[in-house]
Structure 1
Amino acid sequence: MNIQIQPELEKIIQDQIATGRYANAEDVISKALKLLLEWEKGYQDWVDETRDKVNIAIEQLDRGEGIEGDIVIEQLRDKLRQARDVQG
């Protein structure tokens, strides 16, 4: 496979080779692609987990298990005050 790379990306590749961690451009690109696949899997896991949590929350709201907005805001303010006091 023959690809063209933008100059700024080529500089990143050359900089990585210069560190001595990689022998050549193929090693750098291979590592970058592996990291991309790991990131995409992690992102998809996050999306799936978030979707599940939203669905659970919707079911809870449908059952009338929600909390009034002003109560939630006051609870958040209390947590912020506690965090500020701990740092204090």
Structure 2
Amino acid sequence: MQLAEEKLLELCEHGDILDEYGVRLNVLGRTSLLPEKVQLAVQKAEYITRRNTRAILNLCMSYTSRDEITTAVESCVRNADPSNPQITEEDIDA
């Protein structure tokens, strides 16, 4: 995570290069699972590139198998049929 923070802050320091090429940075995933310092670096990098429109750099972070399973189960529970509350593999796959 320290490497992620360092590289995001490095992008911020050299933001003129991203501006020159019109690159906007989007960090995808549950950034709330990241350490606070990394969250701040993400916010800063996204903020300084927010007006760039020629290219988008999507950086997928904070995808964990446990979080993915938890999210799938939460979605199944929310969408469950009260008359048949059984959750199947197909429900989780959906």
Per the TM superposition, whether the score is higher than 0.5 is no
Q: RCO higher in 1 or 2 (8 Å CA, sep ≥ 6)? A: 2
With normalisation by structure 2, the TM-score equals 0.24
Query: Which structure has the larger Rg?
Result: 1
With normalisation by structure 1, the TM-score equals 0.25
Higher strand share: 2
Higher helix share: 1
